[in-house]
Structure 1
Amino acid sequence: MITINDVSKVYGRGEKAIVALDAVNLEVPQGEIFGVLGESGAGKSTLIRCVNLLERPSSGSIVVNEQEITSLSGPALRKARQRIGMIFQHFNLLSSRTIAENVAFPLEVMGYNRAQRQERVKELLALVGLENRARAYPAQLSGGQKQRVGIARALAGKPDVLLSDEATSALDPQTTLSILELLQDLNQRMGLTILLITHEMGVVKQICHRVAILEAGKVVEQGRVSDLAAQPDSRLARSLFPRPQSYAAQPGARVLTISFAGESADEPVLSNVIRQFDVDVNILSGNIEKFGEQRIGQLQAEFVGGQFDAALNYLRNLGLRVEVNE
């Protein structure tokens, strides 16, 4: 649905030039939720604003639903933007308009008549659970309700893509969860492709199918969330499953990092290894995280004595990812 090819964005010139994006390449499959994760200043907001050309890239191209957005301007660009909804961190609602009027605003711009606007607004407010607040003003709503209005407004033109610019970072944890559940429901019910940026790992764990990690304007890692989490040496896994520092193994011992996914996260794997291969196991650290409906865990343990090579082969034959720490 979205293809980003070698996109760079540079602000300024000469010695004062700031490289916000450096040859970024991403592909967002249709119907998926794709997260871009990074710290403040990594270039996340610049990237998402390039997708609908609120920021025009210095070089590279962006294709949305088979249309090269970066080649457009004027009326053609405005028409293309109608198929790309966007929600913002601070909601960006019009304080002098009611909730219904805020949602209707893009429909006015698109040329819908009054009856069409009223019907569509009614549908959208019901979709986000605010059908009883149509006549309220933004100042009368909570942060979560304001963001629901922002989502309804972004969906007004029946977009193919929804862009989310840190849409939950100004909300408390419980409200964040409700907004993420709404986005997940929209994705599943409408097949809506969602590209979101965040600095919160919890957002990625909760709803993202794929993720890209951005550092200093460069993509340093990307892939399916479940695959990256199950790779002991990935950046995503290292941030989720921190390992003990400076551990001195016993003489003759080997330290393994074992990644579990799906049903294997619930199996008594280590008990079986101890019984079958006469190995002493000392657990150093361990954790299990839930990614959508899938459970992924990582365990670091010291193996002493017994049939180490046979135990190692047994674990790998179970389909587990095992890293031997020398």
Structure 2
Amino acid sequence: MITIRNLRKVYGKKDQAVVALDDINLDVPRGSIFGVLGQSGAGKSTLIRCVNMLERPTSGSIIVNNQEMTTLSGAALRKARQRIGMIFQHFHLLNSRTVAENVAFPLEVMGVRASERRSRVEELLGLVGLSDKAKVYPSQLSGGQKQRVGIARALAGSPDVLLSDEATSALDPQTTHSILQLLRDLNKRMGLTILLITHQMDVVREICDRVAIIEAGRIVEQGEVSELAAQPDTRLSHALFPRPQIHTPQPGAAVVSIVFAGNSAEEPIISTLARRFEVDVNILSAQLELLGQQRIGQMQAELVGPQVEQALAYLQNLGLHVEVQR
């Protein structure tokens, strides 16, 4: 749905130039939820604003639903933007308008007839669970309700793509969960492609199919969430499964990081290992995560005994990802 190639964004000129994005390449599959994860100042917001040309790139290509966005301007760009919805961290609702009037606003701009607007607004408020709030003003809503209005407004033009700019970072954990579940439901029900930026690992953990990690304006890692999490040496794996401070192994011992994914997460592998190879297993840390529909666990353990090498070979022959520290 979205293809980005060699994207570069520079602010300022010559000695004052600041490179916000540098050689960004991304492919967002149709119907997926794609997360861009990074800290403040990494370039996340600039990237998502380039997708709908709120920021015009310095160079590079951005194709949304087979249309090259960087070549568009004026009426053509406005028309293309109608197919790209956007929700914001701070909601950006019009306080002088009711909930229904906020949702109707983009339809007014598009020239949709009043009778069609009313029908569409009613449908959208039902979709986000706010049918009873149509005549209420934003000041009377909670943060989660305001964001639901923002989502309904973003969906007014029946977009192909929904962009989310830190949409849950101003919300409490329970409200964040409800908004993420709403986004996942819309993704499944409507086949909506969602590109979201966040600094919150919980957002990636809960709903993202794929993720790209951005640092200092560059993509340093990207792929399917479950695949990256199942590799001990990736940035995402280290973020999901923080490593404890591990002491130097005693002579003849090995400290290992083991990732369990899919069926292996349900098997008694460690107890089998201890019995078969007569090794002592000192578990230093362990964590299990549900990413999408797949269970992924990671364990750090010290293996001690005369058959440590055979035990390590057994783990690797099972197809597990194993990192060894001597």
CA contact (8 A) 1:4 1:62 kept: yes
Structure 2 residue 257 is matched with structure 1 residue 266: no
Q: Tell me how far apart the structure 2 counterparts of residues 136 and 236 of structure 1 sit (CA, whole Å).
A: 42
Distance in 2 separating the partners of 1:301 and 1:101: 58
Amino acid at match of 1:154: A
Counterpart AA for 2:87: I
Deviation at 1:8, TM superposition (A): 0.8
Question: Within 2, Cα distance between the matches of 1:174 and 1:244?
Answer: 28
State the Cα distance separating 1:263 from its structure 2 match.
2.4
Deviations 1:238-276 (A, max 9, x none): 112222225111111111110011221222111000111
Looking at structure 2, the residues matched to 116 and 16 of structure 1 have their Cα atoms a distance apart, in angstroms, of 50
**Aligned pairs, number:** 326
Structure 2: any 5+ residue segments left out of the alignment?
none
Q: Give 1:278 deviation, angstroms.
A: 1.3
**Residue number in structure 2 paired with 1:3:** 3
Match of 1:33 in 2: 33
Residue 287 of structure 1: aligned partner: 287
* RMSD over aligned Cα atoms: 1.0
State TM-score, norm by structure 2. 0.98
Runs of 4+ residues over 4 Å off in structure 1: none
Name 1:136's counterpart in structure 2: 136
Q: Distance in 1 between matches of 2:246 and 2:319?
A: 29
In the other structure, the counterpart of 1:221 is: 221
Q: Match of 1:93?
A: 93
Determine the structure 2 residue equivalent to 1:78.
78
TM score, norm. by length of structure 1:
0.98
Report the identity percentage: 71
SS at the partner of 1:93? Answer: coil
Gaps of 5+ in 1: none
In the other structure, the counterpart of 2:111 is: 111
Q: What secondary structure is seen at the aligned counterpart in 1 of 2:63?
A: strand
Structure 2 distance, partners of 1:276, 1:203, is 40
Could you tell me how far apart the structure 2 residues matched to 1:20 and 1:207 are?
Answer: 27
Q: Structure 1 counterpart of 2:227, which letter?
A: D
Question: Separation in 2 of the partners of 1:287 and 1:103?
Answer: 42
Alpha-carbon distance, 1:216 to partner: 0.4
Match of 2:151 in 1: 151
Are the aligned partners of 2:253 and 2:308 in contact in 1 as well (CA < 8 Å)?
no
Corresponding residue of 1:247 = 247
Question: Alignment partner of 2:133: what SS?
Answer: coil
Equivalent residue number for residue 320 of structure 1:
320
Partner SS state of residue 135, structure 2: coil
Alignment of 1:160-175 (within 5 A): 160-175=160-175
- Counterpart AA for 1:123: E
| Contact persistence 1:280–1:306 (CA under 8 A) | no
- Written as runs of structure 1 = structure 2, the 5 A alignment for 1:11-90 is 11-90=11-90
The CA distance in 2 between the partners of 1:94 and 1:243, in whole Å, is 46
